[in-house]
Amino acid sequence: MSEVHLKGKAAKEVSYSLVNITTDQKNKALALIAEQLVVDQTSILAENQKDLDDGKAKGFTDAILDRILLTGKRIEDMANAIHLLIELQDPIGETVETIEKDNALLIEVKRVPIGVIGMIYEARPNVTVDAATLALKTGNAVILRGSSSAKYSNLALIKSIHAALDKSDVPKISIQLIEDTSRETAKELFRLNEYLDVLIPRGGKTLIETVIREATVPVIQTGAGNCHIYIDESAELEMATNIALNAKIQRPSVCNAIETILIHDKWFAFYGKGLIEKLQENDVEIYGDETVVRECEKVRAASESDWSTEYLGLTVSVKIVTSMEEAITHITKYGTKHSEAIITNDEKHATIFLNYVDAAAVYHNASTRFTDGFEFGYGAEIGISTQKLHARGPMGLKALTTTKYVIRGNGQVRV
């Protein structure tokens, strides 16, 4: 039996016992993990450096290297996120609905774990910790399969997590990492229906499309982030500039950073050059439509493919539109249903945009960078779902649960 099947079998077996782990036991285990990550920080960073060195040797882009990078601050942030997770209410056992029938049947809808979660992801070793701790809090077993680009980091993080669980009441077998990062193991995971209840891919467009196309296990789709900001005619200059800069440059390698700025032509006539210059001062490369190329210096002409490109770096496309409706049409055509924003002082326009744009998160006068489990108060996220079934948006604790009908009677039979 292969490594993948062995880990799947072990995860399924342990998942049945996890429902008996109390909230207090789970929280104590989480606290131990947070503590252990800080204790093991030096060794984790040393292993992370191996991944960074390998990535540089292979010519990885700065955006990919930033996704792989761990620092003392990022490990501290992981630990802080776990402590926030401890403070959050345990959803398992929550009564979602109660129905009392005339025949005295008591029907309760209870929140329960999904069971065994498979996680396949690229770069981002922080996903190892996020997925492990969210699964632990919700009583799920999880099988993690990271990419070769972060293999040393993931192994170090799992070693730290297991060291913590050895001191807890939570079996360490409930959190497993597939060490073989070959395509063959990925394909096995895609078809592990016997043991997996759901598979969650987190990474680039190619990975997600491959999983959707090839997996026989149910998939929760976490989408790529071709995100937009639309600057409306009435947008305030300082607000629009600050939000556009933050959404592009604060951390350009993440999926909630913007990739396209749509600007109303009347706003562009007064302020467009200034915004383009501000972006360029921050080393952002601009691809623009004909108007932007004509009016602004050092702007490259955008091709059709630019409007659908997730750059994940200091590059942005800029298009001029004549109305909010044109902006919405563009977003509908090229967006990935992740995060979209409008900057406007027109409340009617804001309402129309928020209602009509089909995305997991829509914003009025705020940066798209807030689409994040930690920022939304979930402690962490296992991914940002861009689909509509089961879960949508940042997936926190409740997104990793399902429901069960519990019916109590005193001898009732159906007639």
pLDDT at position 206 is 87
Token code pair at residue 17: 């016992």
pLDDT value of position 307: 97
At 388 the pLDDT is 86
Question: What is the rounded distance in angstroms from the CA atom of residue 45 to the CA atom of residue 148?
Answer: 17
Nearest to 262 by CA among 340, 205, 336: 340
Q: What is the mean pLDDT of each run of 10 residues along the chain (415 residues)?
A: 93 95 98 98 98 97 91 95 94 96 96 97 93 97 97 98 98 97 94 96 87 94 89 98 97 93 98 97 97 96 96 96 98 96 98 97 97 85 88 92 96 92
Q: Which two tokens stand for residue 306?
A: 């630019």
* pLDDT recorded at residue 291: 96
- Report the pLDDT value the prediction gives residue 1, as an integer from 0 to 100: 78
